[in-house]
Structure formats: structure tokens, C-alpha cells
Structure 1
Amino acid sequence: DEGLSQTFVCWNRQGHGLVDMLRGIAQSCDVYFYQVGGGNPNVSTSTLREGGLGVFDLYRWGTAFGVGSELGVELPGELAGRMPERQWKRRNRGESWSTGDTYNAAFGQGYVTVTPLQLINAVAALANGGTLYQPTIVQNLQDANGNIIQEFKPRIARTIMPKPGEEIVLLLQEDMLINGANSLACRCEDTSEWYDPALCDPENYVGQYNSDPTDDAEDDEVAEADIVRYRVNVPYNYPFNAGICDELEFNDLGRESLFQRGHGYFPPYASADTISWLQRGMREVVISGTSSEAAMISLESDAMPLPYVNEAGKTGTAEYCDDIAFPLGLCVQGQWPSHGWYVGYAPYENPEIMVIAFIYNGGEGALVATPIVREVMNAYFTLKAQRGQQ
């Protein structure tokens, strides 16, 4: 509907000029991510994939990093967030998906919802080289005499970059999309029509998919080489009551996958090069981008990069309109209120600490969230140095 068309612009109305991936991340360039996510018909397909990544691949990657899943932290009230796709909008909004929706999703806005825990966990998976861990606040349980009763060791929630010889771990949501009625969630959720206690065996369940479904070779050995087996992470004491098993979802996404790729749903993985580029992009945020010394000076902020350690991070300013802002008349087209975000970690070369700040209705993330993160990191390194001197 041309009458409802919208012009998508960058926060920097003067533009950033020619932008590559590193500069796009460093400068938080909206237009760069609009085009990578949703395409641009005016850009040659030799430079940019037609249609960009598209909503289906954005959904796959967002899901892989935990958006839309409860991660299993030992606290009540954890929310799953939302990674939307075409059929979600049709079912929940009664509308077709638009290119503008893809542009917004590519920038983590629009119908995308994410918790601070999910976001810091996703960034941690990039900083650590490709492993999404289940977040935990408990190191161990002890009795009255200090004897350890139970240890809570790091638990892999999702393999982002597979490593030779290591098992692949996927999320319950992905297993449901791959195996449908035969998935672990559909077997174990007592609200599922496929519920079967005899088949609900999280400890021994092994899923699989064909990594090359276009391979029609008749050689059994070749076919076996294409099979990828994986374990599903089930968080501690998970009760299988989240309603992950969703026939509409695995059927809809299965059809979408057949349409987009010509085969069933299968999960994405990142290469070492991709992760390295993303790490470098977050380092550039601090060197020359939106949380650099120059950026802080322009914002008249004294939250300069820490001088004694190399940081990396990412700023964020997310427009919103909710049931608090709307009655107050804050939801004005072109002047939306915004939340301020910043996630930072250090040292860049071998991370020890990562901090995220989310300021509700705070405005620009670089201005309001960056100082909080840097103050916490500075306190950490100061305390570490003091303890090292004792």
C-alpha cells in the first residue's frame, strides 16, 4: 500500500558515506543493516544478495542465539522474547509481512523483543568464540559445614561455531522446528497431542538432520556423512511447560524453508571468520565508533574508554511504544521515545567481564548506558588490582 509507505533513514541524517561491515557496526549505521537484512533493489546483486538476508534467515539466526527461548537462569519469571517471521505476523496481527518489517527486524526492532539477559548472552557467545552458554547465578550448593553438595558447571545451550570432535548442541525450539511431532518438546510437554512419557528421555535424546538434503547419492556411506546428530540442551529442572511444541509453527516454518531453500528447516552456524569480523566490529565501536573517545566528547560525556585495557562493545537506541508511553502521548510518529542500551566487555583479547546496561526510556544508548557499563568495569579492574597487591 503506497499510501502507507515509509522512508527508512539513518540516525545520522547526513549519512555515513560508504560503509562496510566493520564501519556499519562501529557507527551503528541503520541504513547498512536495513540493506543487509532486507535488500535494496537499487544495489547490484553482485554486491548485495537480492532481498538481503530476508526475514526467514533473520529468524534462523535470531533463534540460534536464543531469542524466543527461555535460557534457564535460576530465577523466576524469565521471558522468552520474540523472533518474528511471516506467519507469526499473519496469525497475531492479521497482516502480511512487509519489507519494512524486515528492515526493522534486521536492526532488532519492530516486532523483535529481547531481554537484557538474552542480549548479553548472545554477545558473550561472540566474544568467547562461538558458544552460547546457559546463564547461571549459582556456582555450587553447600551444606552447613561448607561441603559442596552440587556444582553448577558451565552448560552449553547452543553451538554457534562447531569445533572438530565436539558434539553439537541445539535449543529446544530448533529441535521442534527440525523434528516437529517427534521433537523432544512435543514428546515431553503434557499439553502436546504427541506427549509420550515413554519417549520423553532428555538425557538420552539425540536429534538429527540432513546437512545436504539436495544430495541424492545412493551410496549409504555418503548419505551417512551428511547426517548431523545433535544433543538438545534442557535447562536445569526444566518442567516442559513452556508450550514450545507448536504444530502451526513447525508446519509454517517447514513450508517457508521449503519455499526459501528447497528443503526442511536446519540450523545455521557461524564460521571463525564471521565471529572474528563481529568481534573486530565491536572493538571498532570503542576505537572509532559510537562509544569512542571522539563520540563521548561530542556527547559532552566523561565516560571515556578505559585507558588501561582494550574494550569492545555495542551501543543501542531502541524506539518503542508501550502501554506506559502511549497513554502519556509519547508515541509520536518520527519522535518515538527510546530505550538506551550498551553492552561492553574487556579485555578484548581475552574477555574477563561483560556488562550490559538497559535504561528504560533513557534515550541515546551511548549517552546514558555507556557510562554505567564503564563504571562497573572500572570497579572490577580496580578491585582486581587491589586484591592482587594484597
Structure 2
Amino acid sequence: MNIGIMTKRRYIVSKNTSGMEIEDYVLSATEKEAARMEKPLEKKWFDFLWWFLLLFVFLLGLRVIFLTVVKGAYYKDVSDGNSIRSIVIKAPRGRIFDRSGKSLVNNVPSMDAVIIPVDVPRDSVKTKEIAGKVAFILNMNEADVWTKLESNNTSKSLNPVLLKENIQQDQALTILEKANTLAGISIEKTAIRDYVDGPIFSHILGYDGKIEQKELAQNQGYLLTDYIGKQGIEKSYEKYLRGVHGADQVEVDSMGNTKREVGIINPKPGSDLIMSIDGDLQKKLYDSITGILQKTGTSTASAVAIDPRNGQVLAMVNLPSYDNNLFANKISGNDYASLINNPDKPLFNRAIAGEYPPGSTIKPAIALAALSEGVIDQSTIIDGLGGTLRIGSYSFGDWKTHGPSDVRIAIAESNDIFFYTIGGGYGNIQGLGMNRMKKWYNLFGFGLASGIDIGGESEGLIPDEKWKMDNIKEKWSVGNSYHAAIGQGFVSATPLQIANFTAAIANGGTLYKPHLVSQIKKGTGEIIDIDPEILSANFAAPELLSVVREGMRKTILSGTAQPLKDLPIEVAGKTGTAQFGTEDKTHAWFISFAPYENPEIAMAVLVEGGGEGHSSSVPVTKEVYQWYFGDRN
């Protein structure tokens, strides 16, 4: 019976259980039954997942420790080397043209061998091996190459360091072919200047060259492989001529080898310059002076031509000259020594820096001063005194005996006695005295820098009483005033000052700041015009200037420059014979402007040691004007 009852109970449970929903069974399961259901799932899956994750984290940790601790230094170097690098694309330097658009300076493609410091091996054995290979390719001293590599092997700089400039094409190709064995050595594309007719324009244009370490401090943003203007227009207009470098952005490996190109930043070319210089006139004047030097047996001369309407310099010639292409191609030691040891100083820019006694060329300025200050009028007659003015035991001679002269004749015939008298005073003529002469000299730009747009200009000298006491330790004498009145004694001026003064006489009394560049053409197409700048004006009455101009015209018609009166245009001028040194040698000067009524050109010609002005400088002037107003067209 008991068995039956128990059997019945199992039956009942079984019956009740089979009739339940799964959810009801799970919810009503005892703790023991629930454990029996869950445990198989934990053992099969969660325990496995747990141990797998634990093992994975453990292995990952070992790998991280290996990469950071064991191989950390290696991968740091690799990481540093594999980076985006900007390879400089040099910007073309601006070109230079004459006033008619003829090229005076061009850019010629060139290649430099450079060192990239960050890529140079740190191992001295490797750098020595590289130095040997590079020295052989570039025909350089191995020790010099090694020293340069060693001095850059601790630097992390990407900026190239010049090894050798303007290398041959086959040398560049060899280096590129062996790039994998020449770590730290690279080729940089650049350009060197080609100066057309170098010796004719060298003192104007100057030259550029590789920047030096000492120049970097004053010129931010330059690389050690960049070019920079060193002299002349190349230097004074550096900020316009220099462009903005671009970059070829590439990904490189730890050896510096390019893996892929990322992008390019295009360079911006420098601005072009349009000069006021008339290239053909410059050549003609250069050739004419060269010819006269051969005739006179002398070797030094200078000439400047200016447009009196605006102060633009039309020509500026210096002899002897030099070829600025020598500097563009890195001048050799022998060539440089030859230039600096030449007693005629071919590197010297006589036109702007040479200080010479101007002689009689400045007599028109003294004449205008005397007329303006009321010392004389246009009808005043001064006796020639038989060719000698005597003060006590001192005598002051004329270059020849002149009769009584008014101011026009005195200018035309270059009467020294007349100008002694109006400058220092004699008889019943009080004279200007040095202070008033200096005032008028300064008004015409003498004794002052003109501010021309190239460096190296001298001021010349217009002395006075104080200057003599400070420098000579002597009092001023009337004899000093006599000499100053004829452009001698302590007075000195540059050919540029003489030409600019002549231009002011020609245009009716406006002294312009002379300039060599007339336009700047930017790469964007923008054009900057260089406007005329007036230094002084309206300081003399037009009718008095006319008197002086008439005297200068009379110089051609009946005075000391009559060979010019048969030219196809009317010319006005003034000869000058200036003594220098202690051997009675003289410089030959001639100033002029033409056409007389509406001047287009004013010119000063100086032949050093050329004798009298009419014998050497006048022939040059005649030949140039004959061409300029006749044969040229």
C-alpha cells in the first residue's frame, strides 16, 4: 500500500510537471534543481572564455614589454625617420631688364651637393666611408668632406648644408644613383645668375652669392644654401628679387629615401625689375670711353647720364670694370686676388664713390649763387687782370689770359679770374664767401648723399671754416675761397653728383633723387612704379637760371667745347680741368645736356688723368650724342 501511494505521488508529480510551461518550471525550481541546470553552461563556456581572455591579455602585455623595453630605441629611430619631410623647391630669383625690356640678368639651372644633417650616420666609421665616396665623385678633399659630415652628424636639422655648389650633371647623376650608400648626401636644384654683358653693367647690377653664416643673423628665413644679393641692385633690391620657396612634401624612411609623395607647395618667383638704364646707351658710352682711354694712354674713367625730367639714371659707366659672372660662379682665389691687387681698382664704383675735384664744371653753380645773392648781375663786367689775381705776396693764376667778361662769357670761356672774384671777393666785388658758396653747393646736392638706390655712395666734400680748423688745424683764408669757387682745393664731388647737378640746371632748378629702377613687377602681375622724388626745387629764379644756361650754350657756340656745335641737336655744356696730386696732372671733365630747349639727357664724363676736358671728355660726349640723337635711329 505504501508502495502504491508513493507510486501515485510520483505519478502525480510527473503529471503536474509535464503540464507546466517552461517559464513556470524555471521559476518554481528548487535551488538544487536550478544549480543542476546552470552549472553545465558555466563550465563549458564561461570558464573557457575567462581563461582565453586571461591568456590573451598576458601575451599582449609581453608583446608591449618587448616592443617598448627591448626594441624601444630601435623603433623610436625608425619612427623618427619615417616622417613627412618638406624638400625645398627653390623659388626663381627675379630677373632684371633695361628700360626697353632687354634682359640684363637671367637664371641658369644649377645643382648643388648638400648635406642633410638629420640623415647623416652617427657612426664615424660610416661617415668616413661616405666621405671617401663623395670626395671621389665631386673631386674634393676627403678630409674636408669628412669634417663637414662629422660636424653635422649630431644635428636633427632638415635644413641642407652646402657641400659643393654648381656641380656637374654627371656628378649629380652619380650621387643619385648611389643614394642608398651615401646617407646624408643629397642634390638640391637651384639656379645661378647669368649677367649679360657683365663688365658693362657690373657696377650697376652687382652680383649675388651664397649666403654666409654671418649674414644669416641679419636675414631671417634664409637657408645656408640660399643666394643673397651682395652688391649693387642685387643687394639693394634683395627683398623684391628674392622669391618664396615652395616644398615637395614626401614621406621618407629612416634612411631619408622617399617612399611616397604627399603634396606640393609651389614656390613664388621673385619680382622682376625694370631698370631706368638704357642698355644701348650704356654700351655706347662704355665703348666710347674705352676708345678714348686707349688714345690718352690712361685706364680709369667714369660717366653718368640722367634724364633731367625725372631723375632716372640712363647710364652709369665705370672703367676699368670686372665681370660679375666670376662671382656668380664662385670666383677663384686667383681671379679675386687679381681684382683686388689691380692698382686701377676695377671693383671700385667710381661713379658713386669716387671723390674728385670737380674743377670748372661747378662754375655754373657759383655763377647762379652770385646772381641770386646780388653779388653781381647779368651785366656785371669783371676784368681779366692779365691772367693773375694778386693778394699781397700770393698770386692766383688763370688757365689763360681773358679780357673783361660778363657772367655768360665767363662760363663759356671758363674765366678763373671772374670766379675768384665772385667767390672770394676782389676790388669792389665783395664775393660770396665760403658760407654762402656752401649753401648753394648743398642746394645742388654737393657734399650730400643723393640717396641713389644702390649702396656705397660717397658724399664728397664741401668744406667751410670749421671743417678746416677741425681737420687741418688752420684758419680759413681767402685763397681757400678762391680755390673753392673754381672747384679746387678741398672741394670734391662724385660723377653722380656732377651729373645730377647738371640735370637740375637743365630742367630749370629741380634736383631729383637719382634712381636706377623704374618699375617692380611682382609675380602676381602687380606693377609698382618708382615715382620721381624731389630733393630740392624753386631755390633759384627762372630768369637767373636762364642766364646760366645761356652761358653753357655759349660754351658750345664760342667757348671751350666748340666741336659740339655741329651736332644735329643743340647742346649746352661746361668743360672742366681739375688738378690733382702733386705732379700737375689733371682730370678731364665735361658736363652737358641736350636738346638745349627741352632737355632729355644730362651727362657728366670724367677721364682721370685725361688732361684738359676738351681733349678727351668732349670727344666722348660728341660721339655719344651723335649716336643718341642720330645714328641710333
Partner of 2:543: 273
- Mind listing any 5+ residue stretches in structure 2 that lack a counterpart? 1-389
* 1:19/1:32 contact within 8 Å kept: yes
- 1:342 corresponds to 2:612: no
Partner of 1:284: 554
Q: 1:19 aligns with which of 368, 383, 405?
A: 405
Distance in structure 2 (CA, Å) of the matches to 1:377 and 1:77: 29
Partner of 1:95: 474
1:185-238 Cα deviation digits (max 9, x unpaired): xxxxxxxxxxxxxxxxxxxxxxxxxxxxxxxxxxxxxxxxxxxxxxxxxxxxxx
* 2:567/2:622 contact within 8 Å kept: no
Distance in structure 2 (CA, Å) of the matches to 1:124 and 1:344: 9
* 2:592/2:602 contact within 8 Å kept: yes
Q: 2:435 aligns with which of 56, 67, 91?
A: 56
Task: Report the Cα offset of residue 4 of structure 1.
Answer: 10
* 1:306/1:374 contact within 8 Å kept: no
Distance in structure 2 (CA, Å) of the matches to 1:11 and 1:28: 9
Q: 1:83 aligns with which of 462, 467, 472?
A: 462
Aligned residues with identical type, % of pairs: 39
* 2:568/2:629 contact within 8 Å kept: no
Partner of 2:603: 355
Partner of 1:213: none
* 2:568/2:630 contact within 8 Å kept: no
Q: Given the superposition, is the C-alpha separation of residues 142 and 367 from structure 1 closer, same or farther in structure 2, using an over 3 Å criterion? A: same
Task: Report the Cα offset of residue 3 of structure 1.
Answer: 12
Task: Report the Cα offset of residue 345 of structure 1.
Answer: 1.3
Secondary structure, aligned partner of 2:575: strand
Please give the TM-score of this superposition, normalised by the length of structure 1: 0.60
Partner of 2:394: 6
* 2:502/2:593 contact within 8 Å kept: no
Task: Report the Cα offset of residue 383 of structure 1.
Answer: 5.3
Please give the residue correspondences for 1:94-243 in structure 2 after superposition, counting only pairs within 5 Å: 94-144=473-523, 147-159=525-537, 161=538
Partner of 1:381: 629
User: Deviation above 6 Å: which 4+ runs of structure 1?
Assistant: none
* 1:285/1:313 contact within 8 Å kept: yes
Q: 1:313 aligns with which of 564, 573, 596?
A: 573
Distance in structure 1 (CA, Å) of the matches to 2:513 and 2:631: 27
1:349-372 Cα deviation digits (max 9, x unpaired): 100122211011111011110111
Distance in structure 2 (CA, Å) of the matches to 1:26 and 1:306: 17
1:164-199 Cα deviation digits (max 9, x unpaired): xxxxxxxxxxxxxxxxxxxxxxxxxxxxxxxxxxxx
Task: Report the Cα offset of residue 6 of structure 1.
Answer: 3.2
Task: Report the Cα offset of residue 319 of structure 1.
Answer: 0.5
Quick check: which has more Rg, 1 or 2?
A: 2
Distance in structure 2 (CA, Å) of the matches to 1:16 and 1:3: 19
Task: Report the Cα offset of residue 305 of structure 1.
Answer: 3.0
Partner of 1:36: 422
1:100-131 Cα deviation digits (max 9, x unpaired): 10000001111111011101111111110110
1:327-368 Cα deviation digits (max 9, x unpaired): xxxx14xxx111100011111010012221101111101111
Distance in structure 1 (CA, Å) of the matches to 2:456 and 2:554: 35
* 2:512/2:535 contact within 8 Å kept: yes
1:63-88 Cα deviation digits (max 9, x unpaired): 11111111111122110111111000
1:242-282 Cα deviation digits (max 9, x unpaired): xxxxxxxxxxxxxxxxxxxxxxxxxxx31112101111010
Distance in structure 1 (CA, Å) of the matches to 2:548 and 2:631: 30
**Amino acid in structure 2 at the alignment position of 1:11:** W
Distance in structure 2 (CA, Å) of the matches to 1:307 and 1:382: 9
* 1:305/1:374 contact within 8 Å kept: no
Distance in structure 2 (CA, Å) of the matches to 1:379 and 1:370: 14
Secondary structure, aligned partner of 2:511: strand
Distance in structure 2 (CA, Å) of the matches to 1:276 and 1:313: 14
Secondary structure, aligned partner of 1:7: strand
* 2:450/2:513 contact within 8 Å kept: yes
Secondary structure, aligned partner of 1:344: strand
Please give the TM-score of this superposition, normalised by the length of structure 2: 0.37
1:270-325 Cα deviation digits (max 9, x unpaired): 111210111101000000000014xxxxxxxxxx434311110010000111xxxx
Partner of 1:230: none
Q: Given the superposition, is the C-alpha separation of residues 375 and 79 from structure 1 closer, same or farther in structure 2, using an over 3 Å criterion? A: same
Distance in structure 1 (CA, Å) of the matches to 2:477 and 2:496: 29
* 1:306/1:378 contact within 8 Å kept: no
Secondary structure, aligned partner of 1:373: helix
* 2:402/2:415 contact within 8 Å kept: yes
Q: Given the superposition, is the C-alpha separation of residues 383 and 153 from structure 1 closer, same or farther in structure 2, using an over 3 Å criterion? A: farther
Distance in structure 2 (CA, Å) of the matches to 1:3 and 1:60: 25
Partner of 1:366: 614
Secondary structure, aligned partner of 2:592: strand
* 1:355/1:376 contact within 8 Å kept: no
**Amino acid in structure 1 at the alignment position of 2:540:** A
